[in-house]
Amino acid sequence: MQEFWKMTASEISDAVRSKKLSATEVTKAHLARMDEVNPKINAVVQEFPEEALLAAQQVDDAIARGEDPGVLCGVPVTVKVNVDQKGHASTNGVRLLKDLVAQDDSPVVTNIRKAGGVIVGRTNTPAFSLRWFTKNSLHGQTLNPRNKNITPGGSSGGASAAVAAGICAMGHGTDIAGSIRYPAYACGLHGLRTTFGRIPAYNASAPDRYIGAQLMAVSGPIARSISDLEISLAAMSATEMRDPWYRASPMNGDDFPKRAALTLAPDGMSIDPDVRTALVEAADKLKSAGWTIEEVDCPPMRRAANVNARLWMADTQFGQKDLIEREAEPDSQFVFEQMSLDAGTVGLESLMGALQERVGLIRQWELFLQNYPLFICPVSGELPFSQQLDVSSKEAFANVFEAQLTQRALPVIGVPSLSVATGEVRDRPVGVQLVASRFREDILLAAGKDLEKASEPISVADPDWN
């Protein structure tokens, strides 16, 4: 079996479209790779090879008829288990939801299929998608294929592990407080948190979400190249009117000056020296690519993170507290308790205050991003955490929570942000975060490509431990 699983999504799409490869042989290679490495890392927790091969054959049949299947032509893709895929359980890592079988695809899954993507499996998430670590009592723990002693990230940890290990070329993730950006960072990949409203969202298997998730949770791609993010974004964001928040918007905006702001320690957050070095080196690479960089203070991060906490916990305390208690999964119970202590009991006054404050924060950030089309900041204040660090003690959780300040703050603003892998330090991946104004993913992708050109290509990881 040839190692087609080492190819990027863009390379696969081009090769299948030009008939150099068939979608079927590419899919078979990725399914074989899954058989080889998934037992070691537990990234994919729902497998359906026959269904994947049927989808691949449909792509090949379309090409034989002279049709273009779409931008993800024959690309092996994984989907996170917290979105609906017809015929499969939307478990969200929860035992109580193991039989919640979707009767229809969510819009993002519909769009992946329409673009010619071949879904090869569904990936793990922590229970309730509540952590930056991926473990639950239903599906078990996911390991990072680059280093089993560190988290693969969360909540899209299964997606990032699958992409890093070559099980798929693109992984679908969701992000309400870093769940795309942080797994990409932890696994040495690129991950795009899209603008709120860019990619349609809806799960018919469950009631509509409450206001916090409605305003902050988004889908987006995790991949090994920036071009892969670009074609995945085009596929995922196709018009789908089941989401009332969805907004059709051009993929490219007006011309922009190559001017960027750099903030090494937003709101005085603690930054590991190696993370700081990665930021400075990335800024230097962008300078060499023609960007003007100014080191400045950014608009408030802590206030935005506090708004995130209140909106998210308002949803969770009101809508999921009973389910969390009945699930009795120790890690999610501990994390929910710690997050509730941080946010406090969110009543009507607190919720209304958070919604009011959010508007002012968006205003400040949008004005800032009009002046600086690109903003550079840490993905995390620390290198990727050791496994299960957040639940090891209250003090450890507090340190993890602080390190993830930018992860928690930016979803409140609704802007797109891109986690770009830049290398490895002390056997752990490292990277930087790029931010742009709403619906300006094109700026992020342009800057990401400049960084990518100046960095080593991302390789597929081999989890070769015993």
Residue-level pLDDT at 2: 83
Taken in order of first residue, the domains within the chain and their CATH numbers are 6-453 (3.90.1300.10)
Residue-level pLDDT at 362: 98
Tell me phi and psi for residue 430, to 5 degrees: -140, 160
Return d(Cα 386, Cα 336) in angstroms, integer: 20
Query: Could you confirm whether 6 is annotated as catalytic?
Result: no
Percent of the chain whose predicted confidence (pLDDT) is above 90? 96
Q: pLDDT tens digit string along 86-117?
A: 999 999 999 999 999 999 999 999 999 999 99
Catalytic, out of 155, 205, 225, 417: 155
Residue-level pLDDT at 1: 62
Q: pLDDT tens digit string along 392-407?
A: 999 999 999 999 999 9
Res. 466: pLDDT tops 80: no
Query: Could you confirm whether 179 is annotated as catalytic?
Result: yes
What average pLDDT does the segment 372-386 reach? Answer: 98
Catalytic, out of 28, 80, 135, 285: 80
Query: Could you confirm whether 392 is annotated as catalytic?
Result: no
* DSSP string of 1-51, one letter each residue: ---GGGS-HHHHHHHHHTTSS-HHHHHHHHHHHHHHHHHHH--EEEE-HHH
Which pTM does this prediction carry?
Answer: 0.98
Residue-level pLDDT at 316: 87
Decide: 454 and 289 in contact? Cβ < 8 Å.
yes
What average pLDDT is seen over the chain? 97
Catalytic, out of 160, 179, 227, 332: 179
What average pLDDT does the segment 195-206 reach? Answer: 98
- Chain centroid to CA 139: how far? 20
Q: pLDDT tens digit string along 281-293?
A: 999 999 999 999 9
Q: pLDDT tens digit string along 213-230?
A: 999 999 999 999 999 999
Return d(Cα 334, Cα 328) in angstroms, integer: 10
Q: Which residues of 163-189 are buried (b: 16+ CB within 10 A; e: fewer)?
A: bbbbbbbbbbbbbbbbbbbbbbbbbbb
Of 465 and 383, the structure prediction assigns the larger pLDDT to: 383
What average pLDDT does the segment 349-369 reach? Answer: 97
What average pLDDT does the segment 5-20 reach? Answer: 98
